[in-house]
């Protein structure tokens, strides 16, 4: 299949994920340092959570985005304040960019009474429409039709906001994904779907669940333009999302980005990923998105090691405070157990 002669539309299978040089950007230095800060906050917050999990202080499952931080951070950073995002369980970075504080995440995972859900949910299943955040839905694929609906609402109201959501390679095999994509295409709504091709859906490698190499083909099949992007290059993700969002905002209908990456841990903390060949981890570790971005910042003369260390020290200080806050937070009081569970008031 060649790009230009393809009957499938604007696929770009020639994007080389292992390319060392990052995408060109007009982002100023301050913004690039802000991206760096979010990437490190994402990773270091997850490292803290892993420690807390091993101490038995994280109550349920713990899902990691290690190696995929550039996708959440780069895509959320390209959104405007009135845009709406529907993150999945591995999109912690999107929440952080959207203004969610680490202590909100820590208290959620630790099921404390001070968490956004008051201790009722013990991972990232919470939203906040005031910050343009739709709660993740556990059933894979279901967020696509929901965010298509959010985008349709914006279109009806004549607002220029865009809805963005994520889907894993496994999730693109669910019926909801296909129905949602088709609906979005037919109604030409301003929806951007970021499809994270990270090699595995739980223990199933992608080639065991689909015959195609690129998830982008699934979008193109519904008439949705799709691009393939290096998911370990935060600048490439940012630039591709910015372009897709601006096309959707201008009335061009939905867009999909397939971001090629790799899941650097098991499905969740309880899973040792023994089914993943170790050499795959090795190959992808060499493309670590944060190390690559650090090299870019140094090569372009955008930051000295001392400046990056100052950012890291600040991230760590903030995490120290927020971990202490979460550990000192009370469990939810039993008398609040039924609050917010059922619709209250007049029906
Ligand atoms: C409809 C549905 N089927 C099965 C599951 C159980 N499940 C949760 S996550 C997961 C694997 C998801 O893989 P993928 O979509 O590739 O995302 P990744 O975990 O790699 O980010 C499965 C099978 C589910 N939540 N929903």
**pLDDT (0 to 100) of residue 341:** 83
Q: What is the pLDDT of residues 24-53, one digit of tens each?
A: 999 999 999 999 999 999 999 999 999 999
Taking 50 as the threshold, does the pLDDT of residue 16 lie above it? no
Taking 50 as the threshold, does the pLDDT of residue 200 lie above it? yes
State pTM to two decimals: 0.94
Q: Is the CB of 144 under 6 A from ligand 1?
A: no
For a substitution probing ligand 1, which of 93, 125, 140 has the most ligand atoms within 8 Å of its CB? 140
Percent of the chain with pLDDT over 90: 90
Q: What is the pLDDT of residues 85-132, one digit of tens each?
A: 999 999 999 999 999 999 999 999 999 999 999 999 999 999 999 999
Q: Is the CB of 202 under 6 A from ligand 1?
A: yes
**CA–CA dist 251, 228 (Å, integer):** 22
Average confidence score pLDDT of the chain: 93
Q: Supply the residue whose CA is at minimum distance from atom 17 of ligand 1.
A: 168
Q: What's the whole-number mean pLDDT along residues 320-326? A: 98
Q: Is the CB of 263 under 6 A from ligand 1?
A: yes
- Please give the angle made by the CA atoms of 17, 21 and 27, to the nearest 5 degrees: 105
Structural domains of the chain ordered from first start: 29-326 (3.40.50.970)
Taking the CA of residue 176 as reference, the ligand 1 atom at the shortest distance is 1
**pLDDT (0 to 100) of residue 10:** 36
Higher per-residue confidence, 307 vs 123? 307
Q: Is 200 exposed, middle or buried (0-12, 13-18, 19+ CB in 10 A)?
A: buried
The region that residue 236 occupies, defined by phi over 0 for left and psi between -120 and 50 for alpha, beta otherwise, is: alpha
Coil, strand or helix: which one is 338?
coil
**CA–CA dist 188, 225 (Å, integer):** 12
Q: What's the whole-number mean pLDDT along residues 194-209? A: 96
Coil, strand or helix: which one is 227?
strand
**pLDDT (0 to 100) of residue 344:** 73
Coil, strand or helix: which one is 57?
coil
Q: With contact defined as beta carbons under 8 Å apart, do 290 and 69 qualify?
A: yes
CB neighbour list of residue 327: distance below 8 Å, 6 or more residues apart: 57, 110
Q: Is the CB of 206 under 6 A from ligand 1?
A: no
Structure tokens at 156: 């009806």
Higher per-residue confidence, 304 vs 8? 304
**CA–CA dist 153, 23 (Å, integer):** 34
Structure tokens at 221: 């099949």
CA 267 to ligand 1 center in whole angstroms: 9
**pLDDT (0 to 100) of residue 340:** 81
Q: Supply the residue whose CA is at minimum distance from atom 22 of ligand 1.
A: 202
**CA–CA dist 114, 169 (Å, integer):** 34
**pLDDT (0 to 100) of residue 343:** 76
Q: What's the whole-number mean pLDDT along residues 185-213? A: 97
Structure tokens at 188: 């030409």
**Could you tell me which of 263, 331, 287 has the C-alpha nearest to residue 64?**
263
**pLDDT (0 to 100) of residue 144:** 98
Q: Is the CB of 199 under 6 A from ligand 1?
A: no
Q: Can you give the length of the chain in residues?
A: 347
**pLDDT (0 to 100) of residue 339:** 86
Taking 60 as the threshold, does the pLDDT of residue 18 lie above it? no
**pLDDT (0 to 100) of residue 330:** 98
Higher per-residue confidence, 246 vs 14? 246
Q: Is the dihedral of CA 111, 117, 121, 122 positive or negative?
A: negative
Q: With contact defined as beta carbons under 8 Å apart, do 238 and 33 qualify?
A: no
Q: Which residues pair with 257 in a beta bridge?
A: 194, 227
Q: What's the whole-number mean pLDDT along residues 267-285? A: 96
**CA–CA dist 165, 192 (Å, integer):** 7
Q: Specify the residue for token string 């060649």.
A: 2
Q: What is the pLDDT of residues 142-192, one digit of tens each?
A: 999 999 999 999 999 999 999 999 999 999 999 999 999 999 999 999 999
**pLDDT (0 to 100) of residue 342:** 82
pLDDT band, very low/low/confident/very high, at 19 (cuts 50, 70, 90): low
């Amino acid at each position: 299949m060649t790009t230009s002669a393809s009957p499938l539309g604007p696929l770009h299978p020639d994007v080389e994920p292992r390319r060392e040089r990052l995408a060109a950007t007009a982002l100023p230095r301050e913004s690039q340092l802000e991206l760096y800060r979010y990437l490190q906050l994402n990773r270091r917050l997850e490292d803290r959570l892993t420690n807390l999990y091993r101490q038995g202080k994280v109550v349920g499952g713990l899902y990691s985005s290690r190696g995929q931080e550039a996708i959440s951070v780069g895509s959320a950073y390209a959104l405007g304040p009135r845009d709406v995002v529907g993150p999945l369980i591995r999109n912690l970075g999107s929440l952080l960019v959207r203004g969610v504080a680490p202590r909100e995440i820590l208290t959620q995972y630790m099921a404390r009474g001070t968490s956004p859900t008051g201790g009722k949910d013990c991972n990232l299943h919470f939203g906040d429409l005031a910050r343009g955040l739709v709660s993740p839905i556990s059933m894979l694929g279901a967020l696509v039709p929901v965010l298509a609906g959010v985008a349709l609402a914006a279109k009806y109201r004549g607002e220029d906001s865009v809805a963005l959501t994520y889907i894993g390679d496994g999730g693109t095999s669910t019926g909801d994904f296909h129905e949602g994509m088709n609906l979005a295409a037919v109604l030409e709504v301003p929806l951007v779907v970021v499809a994270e091709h990270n090699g595995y859906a739980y223990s199933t490698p992608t080639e065991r669940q689909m015959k195609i190499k690129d998830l982008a083909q699934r979008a193109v099949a519904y008439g949705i333009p799709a691009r393939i992007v290096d998911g370990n290059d935060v600048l490439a993700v940012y630039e591709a999302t910015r372009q897709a969002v601006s096309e959707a905002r201008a009335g061009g209908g939905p867009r999909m980005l397939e971001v090629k990456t790799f899941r650097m841990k098991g499905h969740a903390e309880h899973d040792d990923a023994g089914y993943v060949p170790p050499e795959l981890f090795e190959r992808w570790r060499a493309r670590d998105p944060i190390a690559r971005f650090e090299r870019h910042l140094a090569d372009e003369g955008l930051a000295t090691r001392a400046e990056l260390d100052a950012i890291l020290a600040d991230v760590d200080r903030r995490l120290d405070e927020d971990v202490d806050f979460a550990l000192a937070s009370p469990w939810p009081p039993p008398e609040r157990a039924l609050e917010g569970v059922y619709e209250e008031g007049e029906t």
